[in-house]
A = this chain, B = another copy of it.
Amino acid sequence: MSKAEKLQENLLKTAEPVNEFIHQILQDRTPSQLYEASRHLIDAGGKRLRPFLAIKSCEAAGGKKKDAIPFAAALEILHNFTLVHDDLMDHDELRRGKPTVHSRFGEPLAILAGDLLFAKVYQSVLDYAPAKMSADDVVNTLQKMTDAIIVLCEGQALDISFPKATDVTEKDYIFMIGAKTSALFKACAEVGAIAAGASSDTIDSLGRFAWDAGLTFQIYDDVLGITADETKLGKPVGSDIREGKKTIIMIHALKHADDKQRETLLAAMKGEEATQEAIDAAVKVLNDIGSIDYARGEANKYLESSLKNIKGLRDSSAKNQLIDVINYFVQREY
């Protein structure tokens, strides 16, 4: 078993009690179809990165895994709520290699399933936070999560507006992925640390660690969107290009392209109209300009910056696992 495979196994194993919790809190009520729709994406798979971040941050801050479970579950539910609504907004048909919630259950039920998941985020914490935890700490975790959701909405609104915008800079992109990915990563680490009863310094360090880890993850996600094996990716390779997404790769390439290269890139960003040949030609241009390598370099830069933030934490197995998983972000195949 490769190191990456062992790590993936560790992520899934760590999340087992989280999955159990989620199944309890999403068990059928009337109407059962709503609950089926709300479980659909969670059951379809996923890496369970966010519960891992929450649980290992809790342990790295001196807490017990079981105290982090309701929060880890809340954060995974939160992530899935945003995916259900994002897929609908983006009209994506596939996620994790399976039909998205709206393609399987229709748009109205996808909206509602997302809303139900949203409410279940709060129910997980309000009804199941460890009894020994103070109500003040419960309120604190909910504030972190609520702030993250607000920023996530802002990030998604920006992301939607980007394909139409012609003047998106790398700075705009970093701001957007910070909102769409890092805000929730940060909440995972902070909430895990709060569940451990950590000091505000430790909570902040883990939060900063997770923020840069989120940037690393998302930048590398954009790399994989072009370089990955399609069967592993669970969606068509190059669909980011087709949809006109302003990824760090595309922003870099458009900035450095000559006229002919620019033409090739723009020809591929035409949605349904773009042929597979146009996509392939654009990928070649991205390679020629060095934009994919540039993105890999930036991902590694944020990776280093991320790890600096937890250097001061007491050594522990959990801390090592956090370091392993962040390193894995730039080594994974999907």
Q: Which residues of A contact B (CB under 8 A)?
A: 29-31, 33-34, 85, 88-89, 107-109, 111-112, 114-116, 118-120, 122-123, 126-127, 134-136, 138-139, 142-143, 146-147, 149-150, 153-154, 156-158, 160-161
Contact = CB atoms under 8 A, between A and B. Distances in A.
Contacts of A115: 85, 114, 118, 149, 153
A157 B38 CA distance: 12
State the main secondary structure of chain A at its contact with B. helix
Contact of A109 (B88, B134, B160): B160
Nearest to A156: B112
A143 B29 CA distance: 18
A219 to B, nearest CB: 21
A268 B137 CA distance: 56
Contacts of A154: 29-31, 34, 116
Contacts of A160: 108-109, 112
Identical chains bound together, number = 2
Contacts of A119: 146, 149-150, 153
Nearest to A158: B31
A146 B126 contact: yes
Nearest to A37: B157
Contact of A143 (B116, B120, B127, B150): B127
15 contacts: A31-B158, A31-B161, A33-B157, A33-B161, A34-B153, A89-B112, A118-B149, A119-B146, A119-B149, A119-B153, A123-B143, A126-B143, A126-B146, A138-B139, A139-B139
A61 B212 CA distance: 49
Given A30-B154, A85-B112, A122-B122, 17 more contacts: A30-B158, A34-B153, A34-B154, A85-B115, A112-B153, A112-B160, A114-B115, A115-B153, A116-B154, A122-B142, A122-B146, A123-B147, A126-B142, A134-B135, A135-B139, A138-B139, A142-B142
Contacts of A147: 123
A27 to B, nearest CB: 13
A149 B116 CA distance: 8
A123 B154 CA distance: 15
A296 to B, nearest CB: 29
